[in-house]
A and B are shown apart, each in its own frame.
Chain A
């Protein structure tokens, strides 16, 4: 099947650093855009993020950097120097999208903000992904994963009442902000396809995480109720529970009755009204905990996942580790992984495909760029001669 790349007509300049911005620009690249990553001559901070390939902290071996910068070419440019800013201004004339993650106001101080750049390029879309957005009293605040979690409201309902609020593991706020950056960029591009005008897209990581609270938020605006963390006891059913070789979680609903759930656990007493009746069950949490813990202590995750899902049609999850995901047959069937050949790391399999899309699926065409790898082709295209590029390099501008 011949793939027709949805964004194959676009040039994207990626000035962003860290995870969310770079991943947003990469997603545009996954759907065909020509993405040029522009880093300061010393490399962006993402190159110093663990984990590293074979734990070697070489700036070309950050696995996070690899992940967030697939499908890009790489150039270096010191925007803080007038010659650097001028070169960027020239690049921006033919760009369709710029992705950036600087503190609000920084690009304006260099004369590189959207309002200035669009004077030479009215179709330019600029997407800014920042901790708190471009406006408002917290817009100058510094942020990161846990700050987004705390200020979005989600931490206040995560964890247990006897302990502190708990962030989620990993970097979900960064990934979610990348997704929202990409979709808001798509919206701006659809608008541009209609009227020819680019615009500035302002994505707030705090708001991205807050936007997932679709029970919590209107609970307050409809009743004044404020949710908190769950109580620690009486929670085996519907929460993570240990079994022989790990942990599982099961829920009511799906295609199963409560009696079916009792049969799955193999305990007749679960059919008694004190558990079968949802209201009575609320009062009998600790007793329910004890029965379920005993019923599953000799059963494995894999067996229960299969039996519950296939025979009982239960909503059932098991706590899978990264190793489990690396060998998961379902992810294999979804073509989740792609192999890339990286000049320093070598051949490596990376999680790649977010979803499937028949004739226009995401395509993996390039590994992450080495620092300044494509300087010559990027600046030659601007009309710089090899000698001029050499001078720029000597002066530390690229």
Chain B
């Protein structure tokens, strides 16, 4: 789909305008990085195979369909896929066939960045790893994301964020106090990889700008995950301390916790960093005398007597809503935060004022409508950034890429389409997972659902 003139003008002022990025990506980490680079102005071409779709187009990692309806083309409709791959073009070509890889080589010759997150042996096997890619395009930047990195004893181990968060040390320190280790949430290390991939790509672009050469950015998710517990590793190195699970408490400040508020499954966290904040908390909860109580006189005393403080805070929280609790404590100068769920994230006044979520308008024929998706967690005062368009349908830009960018003629493209080298439909569609919204709630997959969410979001048409 052509972008209109206003968009083109805006794109021209974006930092990555005029750059072409090949994005052979799967699942979360690299697709999201590619989507953010598209926000920054790059032309990002997502390459998939008609027989090897991005996993997030269907199955466990894809999220859900609009109105929970798979429609005629479920592979183009999943929520998470559409968030991650915004603003990209789609080329669906079979890279397992040598003719497909010849097309990819032609594309590498005219691109600035090649991004991929295969297991390391795949690109090597195709002779498309960095040393080979450089032969095709001496200044190309290559960005690779893998589980453990291309070398070392674990290089060939299968990897995915959900199992890695144990191995990279996060699960050991995550869990209720004194209890078993716990997994964090959704694929935590994938997003660390997303940030690292954008950091690496932007550094590499500046490197090329300054020194006239490309380079290889080699991101291993395991290594990144380990970096997030670097302070714990240092504590081991210096003090032989293994760290422990402390739930919602703070390792060296007190009190801190997550307390139930009025209503069902409503919570607010509180954290006190010093004596003044403690005194402010005592006043805010109507117990000013506790600020002078010897049991809680300083941080050390509060750490020792944390168990006695928890019920005092809990008693106050039980009588207020989570929003009231947060607002009243913050107004008193106390660190506090309501535990927001997905509905709150869309509707709370701060999120609305900041505009973290951006509404993407899909073309009418796709039957998706308008949907808010996560933008970026940073603002630049002079470079207005935004999601530049919806995620593409599978193979939507096959002809545009082959004819307009690579200069192939119509007959050659038609032949590739007939032979199944190119496609716009999956060769073997995945079975669609169906479960009603009510059943999802009943089975514990969801806490609840809002049938009127479109009215709440203002996206009813």
Contacts and interface: CB of A to CB of B under 8 A. Distances in A.
29 contacts: A136-B350, A136-B353, A147-B271, A151-B338, A153-B342, A155-B258, A161-B444, A163-B176, A167-B248, A176-B195, A184-B380, A190-B205, A199-B381, A218-B79, A220-B343, A223-B65, A240-B180, A249-B166, A251-B160, A282-B443, A321-B243, A325-B233, A325-B236, A333-B151, A350-B237, A354-B223, A355-B200, A355-B223, A357-B218
A231 to B, nearest CB: 5
Q: Which of B233, B338, B345, B449 has the most CB of A within 10 A?
A: B233
B76 interface: no
Interface residues of B, number: 167
Contact of B380 (A151, A159, A188, A355): A188
Nearest to B197: A355
Contacts of A58: none
B231 A51 contact: yes
Interface in B63-90: 63-68, 79-80, 82-84
Contact of A150 (B233, B339, B457): B339
A323 B232 CA distance: 9
B238 A354 contact: no
Given A153-B341, A223-B64, A351-B234, A358 B335 contact: no
Contacts of B246: 169
Contacts of B454: 224
A389 interface: no
A358 B134 CA distance: 13
B6 to A, nearest CB: 20
Contacts of A55: 239
B215 A360 contact: yes
Contacts of A242: 180
B202 A249 contact: no
Given A142-B335, A314-B158, 14 more contacts: A132-B350, A157-B185, A170-B232, A175-B192, A186-B202, A190-B16, A201-B379, A224-B437, A317-B162, A325-B233, A325-B236, A333-B153, A351-B227, A355-B224
A329 interface: yes
Contacts of A137: 349-350, 353
Interface residues of A, number: 156
A21 B272 CA distance: 21
Contact of A175 (B218, B227, B248, B271): B227
A219 interface: yes
Contacts of B207: 4, 6, 359-360
Contacts of A225: 64, 342, 437, 440, 446, 449
Contacts of B357: 217, 221
Contacts, number: 536
Interface string B235-266: 11111111101111011100010111000010
A357 B356 contact: no
B447 interface: yes
Contact of A351 (B198, B220, B226, B350): B226
A249 B122 CA distance: 26
A164 interface: yes
B181 A319 contact: yes
A170 B170 contact: yes
B242 A143 contact: no
B149 A356 contact: yes
B198 A214 contact: no
Contacts of B378: 180-181, 184, 187, 201-204, 207
A264 interface: no
B182 A218 contact: no
B452 A224 contact: yes
A213 B341 CA distance: 11
In the complex, the 9 A-B pairs of residues with the closest C-beta atoms, listed nearest first: A169-B173, A228-B447, A333-B152, A224-B453, A317-B163, A207-B377, A317-B166, A218-B79, A254-B158
B231 A170 contact: yes
A322 B258 contact: no
B32 interface: yes
Given A183-B199, A330-B149, A214 B84 contact: yes
Contact of B354 (A4, A7, A204): A204
Interface stretch (B94-102, B109-117, B368-376, B408-416): B368-376
Contacts of B351: 210
A26 to B, nearest CB: 11
A315 B160 contact: yes
B218 A218 contact: no
B376 A211 contact: yes
